[in-house]
Amino acid sequence: MADEPDKLLQNDPLAEKGTTGAVHARSPVLSAAKVVVLILLASTMTVPFVWMLLASFKPPAEADLPDFLPNRWKSDNYHIVLSLKRDAKGKILPIHFGRWYFNSLFVASWVTFLQIVTSSMAAYAFARLKWPGRNAVFLMYLGTMMIPMIVLMIPNYYIMFKLQLLDSYPGLILPAAFSAFGTFLLRQFMLTIPTSLDEAAEIDGASKWQTFTDVILPLARPGIIVLAIFTFLGNYASFFWPLIIVKSDYVRTLPIGMLFFESKGGAGYGRQTELMMAATVMNIVPLIILFVILQRYLVRGIQLGAVKG
């Protein structure tokens, strides 16, 4: 008899409908609220980029106005920045934006390649090879990450001066070709690869170098892609080191060139916001393309590299 009320409640269609109905009634509201919040957050991050893009198509008279959309679209701003056309006052900008663009891509690509080579080899030595003092050396190498980069600029500058590499591509590339962070990232990733693969390769007669190139590197590709993304983004936007070491316009990179763009572009006839926005849009295009293409590798590589510490 004591179980009869429970049975009645279980068989009551109104009770079941009331319970599940409340849940189903709340679900669309919560989903809609989440969508609204996400849209608001996304808008706060995308609106500045949208304004920058639209401002790059405005004529000079509308560049500093609060209007969001241009009344008259002008695509010549990009040609003016690249010194392919004269501006509204009939002047060719005394800048070499195309050269700066090439320099940034060239330096960032070489730094990325060299960091992948040096960091992967160091990570293999710290993760897969056994030698006396390995962990102590790794901790000391990892400790260099605690040193601020600004502290190392004077020693690096002095070394580049002695090697006569000031104001040159090697002077921009070599100091950034080695990374304790890259070594740490790839070491953590390589620790997740089973050691039985190394043993199987040794049984087949593979040397340490062959094991590294034919077994470990292909399996560490997601981690290498993550390092490549971080390295390229960081060096493409590098500012302080190029500011110190570069003197000539021929080797100047985009972050430094943008400063000269504003000063030279405004000399004699005022600041031109529309040209600054056009230059900034062209500046970030490679970063957007790189992220869109490699974003799935970025997420997967970070997840796999965090499995074992």
CATH architecture of 97-305: Orthogonal Bundle (1.10)
Residues 99-126 have a mean pLDDT of: 94
Reply yes or no on whether the pLDDT at 9 is more than 80: no
Reply yes or no on whether the pLDDT at 135 is more than 80: yes
Residues 45-59 have a mean pLDDT of: 87
Reply yes or no on whether the pLDDT at 63 is more than 90: no
Instruction: Express each pLDDT in 235-250 by its tens digit.
Output: 998 998 999 999 888 8
Q: Where are the domains of the chain?
A: 4-55, 97-305
Q: How confident is the model at residue 19 (pLDDT cuts 50, 70, 90)?
A: very low
pLDDT number for residue 206? 87
Name residues whose C-beta falls within 8 Å of residue 111's C-beta, 6 or more positions apart in sequence: 173, 176, 177, 231, 232, 235
If one compares 100 and 260, the residue with the highest pLDDT of the two is: 100
Residues 15-43 have a mean pLDDT of: 70
If one compares 2 and 46, the residue with the highest pLDDT of the two is: 46
Mean pLDDT for all residues in the chain = 82
Reply yes or no on whether the pLDDT at 305 is more than 80: no
Residues 225-243 have a mean pLDDT of: 90
pLDDT number for residue 84? 76
pLDDT number for residue 149? 83
pTM of the full structure: 0.79
Q: Point out the least confidently predicted range of 14-18, 194-198, 246-250.
A: 14-18
